[in-house]
Structure 1
């Protein structure tokens, strides 16, 4: 087996070689990898992207699992500091580079904005990702394998997601973004699965006007558009 991971941009300018650059391990079109990468791009943080070939189970090799005990992607290496789980990576980047790029966290010391941020974070995991991720995992892998997805199961999940988005519709009728009137990490965290589910025939976002307005706005951000062709090194 070739050495773990392959840089998506092997040659770098010589003046960058002495600078410690963040490394992001993952797969170019992985939803979780994109969730971490969109934060790096939004914050203007250069990173080297190391491709992990999940089809060859490179993420399960002893070498990789020494870095990530669960053998999953993505994985961030910040000069030897290893961090996994895409949302944890996003929070780390947003806080470490708070003074550059787009502010994505509530202001320090504002207890109420922080509480609303954490409330939105819980909603994203429990009321959006729980259903949207199942829709895509039923559709995407089966299509790639030449199998037919269970459309009845997808329809049920879409109905369940739509019921949750009824609440999102109310929230977004009163504020611009999911945690308030400023863009935050939580908005970006919705992007990977939210962008994929229409391909599976799920129309829960499109049938909610305020949700659709919000999702179009965050989807049109240059940081997300930069990942259309997959995650790549930015150094």
Structure 2
């Protein structure tokens, strides 16, 4: 009997949803993308809150299992399906895993806060008719520049963040970096740094991420 596909809830335009989508595609795991119409408040409905208690996206279901944090979902998928798709996505020994984990933590703690602020202010606020906060933009641009100098040094020593192979350590950066480069006027934060730019060109050219971008540009599927 075939295993039913996992369900990923939320719009692909969401950075967190797109992170999960890139992972399931890398791991060659069958999935169903379920749209959540946030404009209509579907993310606050009682049924949705049963699987995503914070009323945000993504939500994820694997038969009777529910998860709601994108990086945790990616770890789960990679561990459960270690022999499928990209087998080294989450490392194959303790040292590889530790290296991947430290760069995942760096993404969550150091890269994500300033890059998310910039993506919201520069890419989403204008669409939502929200006034941009120039002070916040400047502050986070300076923070991100300092963070990316660390990455510039690291990527001068290593092809990818955790070593010579593409892993979750790199995948987790794709959503925010994609918007910075393609939907804001601050893409030079990435493209002006030789090693970071080389790395970005490699990771954003992967078939898994190209598929995610296709999903972002497609009409939404049926709502939950």
Structure-2-length-normalised TM-score? 0.89
Alpha carbons of 1:71 and 1:148: their partners in 2 closer, same or farther (altered >3 Å)?
closer
Q: Which has the larger radius of gyration?
A: 1
Per-residue deviation at 1:148?
4.5
Unaligned runs of 5+ in 2: none
Q: Superposition RMSD on alpha carbons, in Å?
A: 1.8
Please name the residue that 1:27 is paired with.
Answer: 11
Q: Is the 8 A contact 1:159 1:204 kept in 2?
A: no
Q: 1:96 aligns with which of 66, 69, 80?
A: 80
CA distance in 2, matches of 1:48, 1:184: 23
Aligned ranges 1:70-85 → 2 under 5 Å: 70-85=54-69
CA distance in 2, matches of 1:67, 1:165: 35
Aligned ranges 1:1-235 → 2 under 5 Å: 19-102=3-86, 103-108=88-93, 111-198=94-181, 199-202=183-186, 203-230=188-215
Unaligned runs of 5+ in 1: 1-15
CA distance in 2, matches of 1:112, 1:22: 29
Structure-1-length-normalised TM-score? 0.85
Per-residue deviation at 1:221?
0.4
CA offsets, 1:97-131, max 9 Å, x none?
Answer: 111111201213xx332322221112111221111
Per-residue deviation at 1:225?
0.5
Per-residue deviation at 1:144?
1.1
Tell me the secondary structure at the aligned position of residue 229 of structure 1. helix
